[in-house]
A and B are shown apart, each in its own frame.
Chain A
Amino acid sequence: MTWIKIERALFTLFVFVLLAGAVQVAREWAIRASIIILLLGGLGLALALAQFISDIKNIESKKPDEVLTMEAPAAKSDSRWGNLEIWGWILGFYAAIHVIGFLAAVPLFVFSYTKAYGGSSILSLILGVMSWGFVYALFDAILHVPWPKPLIASLIS
């Protein structure tokens, strides 16, 4: 519980540093380029500081750690690895696109994910092939999207 509160304060601090850096850099520019940054940056820094102080105070308070927004609250995970699990998949897909290219990474990712979470081999295969077929037909054959050259192709050549 406390760790999430510390993380929250650190995130606010990150926003403060980001805004401070932006304002500092913008001070060197011509007024035409910096007017909006200087105007809103000052206000932003004051707000970020106030939020950071409030977050710090909240770390020590015993109030329940509730954040209410008008969006649905983030889901609580039952899985052992929580967010790391899905982030692993996302980063894996990102890495696969770079290494083996979009057209190979798409069916591989769809097949592996579906299979890993309980889909049958047939369903996983069908989804993998369908996703590849859709991406290939629409983006490659019709729209001629220039995919980034995969790392593996560079290594081979």
Chain B
Amino acid sequence: MIEAALEGLQSVLTLHSLAMMSLGVLIGSLVGFLPGIGGPTTLAIMLPFVMVMQDPVAVIALLVGMDAVGNTASAFPSILISVPGSAGSQATILDGYPMAKRGEAARALSASFMASLVGGIIGPLILLASLPVLRPLVLSFGSPEFFVLTLWGLAMVGVLSGNAPVKGLLAGIIGVFIATVGLDMKSGVERFSFGEPYLWEGISLIIVALGIFGVPECIDLARRKTSIAERHELGSGFKQGIIDVMQNMWLTVRSSAIGIWVGFLPGLGSSVADWFAYANAIQTEKHKENFGKGDVRGVIAPEASNNSKEAGSYIPTLAFGIPGGTSTALILVAFTAVGINPGPDMLTTQLNLTFAIIWTLAIANIMAVFLCMAFTKPIAKCCFLPFYTIVPIILVFVFIGAFAANLNRYDLLLLMVFSTLGFMMRRHGWPRAPLLLGVVLGTKMELYLWLSYTRYGADWLQRPGVILLFILLLASVLYPIWQARRVGAFIEADAP
């Protein structure tokens, strides 16, 4: 294992990999501090260009580097203009913005960078520590267990990624159906292609991702018409922010651990990691009366958790091939395209690549923090860019990204179809992440089910691992539904 770790480090420290990582960190940071552009949208735009690259380590350096740092830079708009730069920095606003209002923006920013750094280092360390535990577990699984596991991952994302478990499950099923479109090579059946050769090769995940995330986010940004009413100076206290993190190290470590746990559970994602850590800080810290009024601990807790969460989400992605969230789902697609096979291989024959990912996560976080600290003033100015300079540029990239998927005229038509679907889902509170995950997992799920059926008949249902996983699946699906109904009934009874 030490050999693989060193090999992974060596591959990451080449000039080419470091250049790709720097590019990833730059793009990830840019996405973070420009409010309104999500990480998944940018990843989807990047996919068609990354998938033609030959070097898997370069792909890891670029995409993992980009994904790892988005939450670090997203503290800028959260603290300076009270607009979350990413889904994972919403809780930062509660205390970061009041700090900026009273002239302590620099202190809040430096505290958030330091907390992000600690979270970004603890995350990969835990990922590293989990490898010896995961290895025997993953290697004992067969196709029936993997089928139930993919089903469980999809169900978890469906149920947990919104307050609408039924809609989430339905979105996941729609995603699996989309994955089946095209010519089935084994049976020769044309599935849902309506005799159209364009659809024989299936629907590109890039177009689905750009349609359901990219265009609706642009619509939202355009409708919001971000206008900055108040500008706050950075003020002083940059060093104090760093000292604050040192003085609250236990809180930082605890929040990082929460982030890893949230990232590990497929479906929860960074949009809740920050809130969980913030709630934990309020519950456990002394002198809680200042929370919400500009307490630096209210910045430290969410920022540590949203960075460590990224490493946590790689645990199920690498070990079982089940992405922890939207970003890892897209990265998984790029990995598969360049010959990286998440699953048992990542813990055996491709262990060096797993280590390359761990090293990238850690190094990219360090790079991002230095970048943010060194260029705080110019980056802060970018937060005030008006929406009309961002929306058309993003839309151009979305259209070009979709066209680059197959270089076909129909790509754009399909983009419009999925944009409409994404827009309607967003408008009516349907979680979109399960749909994307359904598209990613659909093919695997079908293969595992078919292998289980042909190898074991109906007997695969009696395997102890399968029974245990089915019990866990049912519990994870039924409990949130029961809880949602209970809360609904409580609200109804409480209504005047």
Name A residues whose Cβ lies closer than 8 Å to a Cβ of B. 7-8, 11, 15, 18-19, 22, 25-26, 29-30, 32-37, 39-41, 43-44, 47-48, 50-51, 54, 63, 67-72, 74-79, 82-83, 85-87, 89-91, 93-94, 97-98, 102, 106, 109-110, 113-114, 116-119, 123, 127, 131, 135, 139, 145-146, 148
**A48-B170, A102-B400, A114-B392 are contacts. A32–B219 as well, Cβ < 8 Å?**
no
B476 at the binding interface (Cβ < 8 Å): no
B410-434 contacts to A (CB < 8 Å)? 412, 416, 419, 423-424, 426-432
Tell me whether A43 and B173 are in contact (CB under 8 A).
yes
Q: Which residue of A lies closest to B447 (CB)?
A: A36
Tell me whether A33 and B184 are in contact (CB under 8 A).
yes
Partner of A109 from the list B173, B192, B395, B450 (CB cut-off 8 Å) is B395
Cα–Cα, bound, A40→B176 (Å): 9
Chain A residues whose C-beta falls within 8 Å of the C-beta of B463 in the assembled complex: none
Count of interface residues, chain B, beta-carbon cutoff 8 Å: 73
B166 at the binding interface (Cβ < 8 Å): yes
Tell me whether B407 and A145 are in contact (CB under 8 A).
yes
Chain A residues whose C-beta falls within 8 Å of the C-beta of B167 in the assembled complex: 51
Tell me whether A63 and B388 are in contact (CB under 8 A).
no
Tell me whether A71 and B426 are in contact (CB under 8 A).
yes
B271 at the binding interface (Cβ < 8 Å): yes
Cα–Cα, bound, A123→B269 (Å): 38
Cα–Cα, bound, A119→B431 (Å): 34
Q: Which residue of A lies closest to B151 (CB)?
A: A40
- Tell me, rounded to whole Å, the shortest Cβ–Cβ distance linking B146 to chain A: 14
Chain B residues whose C-beta falls within 8 Å of the C-beta of A76 in the assembled complex: 223
**A32-B184, A35-B450 are contacts. A70–B386 as well, Cβ < 8 Å?**
no
Chain B residues whose C-beta falls within 8 Å of the C-beta of A145 in the assembled complex: 403-404, 407
Please encode chain B, from 395 to 407, with 1 for each CB lying within 8 Å of some chain A CB and 0 for all others: 1100110011001
Cα–Cα, bound, A68→B491 (Å): 14
Chain A residues whose C-beta falls within 8 Å of the C-beta of B222 in the assembled complex: 85-86, 89
Can you give 8 contacting A-B residue pairs, CB < 8 Å?
A: A36-B449, A47-B170, A75-B223, A89-B222, A94-B416, A109-B396, A110-B392, A117-B386
Partner of B442 from the list A36, A116, A119 (CB cut-off 8 Å) is A36
Please encode chain B, from 368 to 391, with 1 for each CB lying within 8 Å of some chain A CB and 0 for all others: 000000000000000000111101
Partner of A102 from the list B218, B403, B427 (CB cut-off 8 Å) is B403
- Tell me, rounded to whole Å, the shortest Cβ–Cβ distance linking B34 to chain A: 14
Tell me whether B389 and A71 are in contact (CB under 8 A).
no
Q: A interface, by DSSP: helix, strand, loop or mixed?
A: helix
Tell me whether B187 and A71 are in contact (CB under 8 A).
no
Tell me whether B416 and A113 are in contact (CB under 8 A).
no
Chain B residues whose C-beta falls within 8 Å of the C-beta of A85 in the assembled complex: 222
- Tell me, rounded to whole Å, the shortest Cβ–Cβ distance linking A42 to chain B: 10
- Tell me, rounded to whole Å, the shortest Cβ–Cβ distance linking B396 to chain A: 5
**A7-B428, A36-B176, A39-B449 are contacts. A68–B219 as well, Cβ < 8 Å?**
no
- Interface-central residue, B90, B176, B431, by most chain A CB under 10 Å: B176
Chain B residues whose C-beta falls within 8 Å of the C-beta of A74 in the assembled complex: 216, 220, 223, 426-427
Tell me whether A69 and B223 are in contact (CB under 8 A).
no
Tell me whether A69 and B170 are in contact (CB under 8 A).
no
Cα–Cα, bound, A148→B192 (Å): 25
B200 at the binding interface (Cβ < 8 Å): no
Tell me whether A69 and B389 are in contact (CB under 8 A).
no
Cα–Cα, bound, A44→B124 (Å): 38
Cα–Cα, bound, A19→B491 (Å): 32
B161 at the binding interface (Cβ < 8 Å): yes
- Interface-central residue, B395, B396, B399, by most chain A CB under 10 Å: B396
B87 at the binding interface (Cβ < 8 Å): yes
- Interface-central residue, B90, B219, B453, B492, by most chain A CB under 10 Å: B219
Chain B residues whose C-beta falls within 8 Å of the C-beta of A69 in the assembled complex: 161-164, 429-431
Cα–Cα, bound, A116→B164 (Å): 38
Cα–Cα, bound, A36→B167 (Å): 19
Tell me whether A70 and B223 are in contact (CB under 8 A).
no
- Interface-central residue, A32, A63, A68, A127, by most chain B CB under 10 Å: A32
Cα–Cα, bound, A15→B426 (Å): 14
Q: Which residue of B lies closest to A23 (CB)?
A: B177
Chain B residues whose C-beta falls within 8 Å of the C-beta of A119 in the assembled complex: 386, 388-389
Cα–Cα, bound, A119→B393 (Å): 14
Tell me whether B173 and A40 are in contact (CB under 8 A).
yes
Tell me whether B176 and A71 are in contact (CB under 8 A).
no
- Tell me, rounded to whole Å, the shortest Cβ–Cβ distance linking B400 to chain A: 7
B135 at the binding interface (Cβ < 8 Å): no
B189 at the binding interface (Cβ < 8 Å): yes
Chain A residues whose C-beta falls within 8 Å of the C-beta of B430 in the assembled complex: 11, 69
**A63-B492, A110-B396, A139-B400 are contacts. A86–B223 as well, Cβ < 8 Å?**
yes
Tell me whether A33 and B419 are in contact (CB under 8 A).
no
Chain A residues whose C-beta falls within 8 Å of the C-beta of B287 in the assembled complex: none
B4 at the binding interface (Cβ < 8 Å): no
Partner of B395 from the list A40, A47, A90 (CB cut-off 8 Å) is A90
Chain A residues whose C-beta falls within 8 Å of the C-beta of B164 in the assembled complex: 67-69
Tell me whether A114 and B389 are in contact (CB under 8 A).
yes
- Tell me, rounded to whole Å, the shortest Cβ–Cβ distance linking A92 to chain B: 11
